[in-house]
A and B are shown apart, each in its own frame.
Chain A
Amino acid sequence: MPVAGGRETAAQLWRLSRGHRLRLAATGVLGTVSTGADLIPPLAIGYLVDRVRAGTADPGTVLTATAVMAVAAVLGAAGTAVTIVLATRAYHAVLARLRERLVARAMALPQHLVERAGTGDLISRTSDDVTAVADAAPGVIPALTVTAFTIVVSLGGLAALELPYAAAFAVVLPVYVLAMRWYLRTGPAVYRDERAAMSARAQQILESQRGYDTVLGFGLAGQRHRAVMAASWAVVVRSLRARTVQSGLSARLNLGECLSLATVLVVGFVLIGQGTSTVGGATTATLLVLRLLGPVNELLFVIDTLQSALASLNRMVGMITTPVTRPGAGYGPTAAVRLRGITFRYDDGPPALDDVSIDIAPGQHVAVVGASGAGKSTLAAVVAGIHPPGAGTVTRPVRTAVITQEVHVFAGTLRDNLTLAAPQATDHDLLAALETTGTTGLLDLLPDGLDTLVGSGGHPLTDAQAQQIALTRLLLADPELAILDEATAEAGSAQAGPLDHAAGAALAGRTALTIAHRLSQARACDHIVVMDQGRITETGTHHDLIASGGTYAELWKAWQAGQPR
Chain B
Amino acid sequence: MTSHAETLVRARGASRVRRARGQWAAWAFLAPVIIYLVAFYAYPLYRNLDLSLRHYTVRSFVRGDAPFSGAANYTTVFSDPTFGPALLHTMVFTLVSIAFQFAAGLALAVFFAQHFRLSATLRALFLVPWLLPLIVSASTWSWMLNSDSGIVNFFLTSVGGDPINWLTSPSWALTSVIIANIWIGIPFNLVILYSGLQAIPGEIHEAASLDGASAWQRFWRVTFPLLRPVSAITLLLGLVYTLKVFDLIWIMTKGGPVDASTTLATWSYRLSFGNLLPEFGPGAAVGNLLIVIALIFGLLYIRKAAP
Pair from one complex: no
Interface residues in chain A, defined as those with a beta carbon under 8 Å from any beta carbon in chain B: none
Interface residues in chain B, defined as those with a beta carbon under 8 Å from any beta carbon in chain A: none
